[in-house]
Amino acid sequence: MHYLIKLIVEAENAEDALIEADSDAETLVEWQDFDWYDMKGRWGDSKAYKVTSKKGAELLKEGMQSTRGEFDSAVKTVRYMLDNFSEEEIYNEQFPKWDEMTLPQDVFLSRWQFARAGGRGNSIYVYAVNGDLWGGKVENDKSLESILSDKTKKLWVVPVDFHN
């Protein structure tokens, strides 16, 4: 599946931001968060935008909205599983066959949903990878605000096509 991931990087200019984003994307593949990436992916060539620019702020907002949507969906599924199945059934993923169930919309039964609700799924859409910055996924609004509050950093956002 393809994901348009927003990478937050520190750089002096747009050209350096693209170089840093390419390096960070390679790191995410090495960490096995994704299978591969393409800086000239299905959404077009990756471009760098200052996080303080209108387009940069828009990309971060879209990314965090997607992150929140993934969280909300996972929490909904976790609540459904806890309300309808025993811990043993959840632990062993002993759920009825799909054709034997009537599930609420957007509910996919799997223990993976617990990790996804905790921000560990591959659907987090904003990353800050550079080891000199924060070195991981931006999992909520509070962590993004903390990153953006450091006014001494020259931060850019670069959308990159990833696949897993």
Q: pLDDT digit string (tens) for 63-120?
A: 998 888 888 989 999 999 999 999 999 999 998 776 556 777 778 898 989 988 887 6
3-class DSSP state of 44:
strand
User: Distance between CA atoms of 102 and 115, rounded to whole angstroms?
Assistant: 24
Q: What is the pTM of this model?
A: 0.83
2: left (phi over 0), alpha (psi -120 to 50) or beta: beta
Q: 131 pLDDT exceeds 60?
A: no
Provide DSSP, 74-124.
HHHHHHHHHHHS-HHHHHTT----GGG--PPTT----THHHHHHTT-STT-
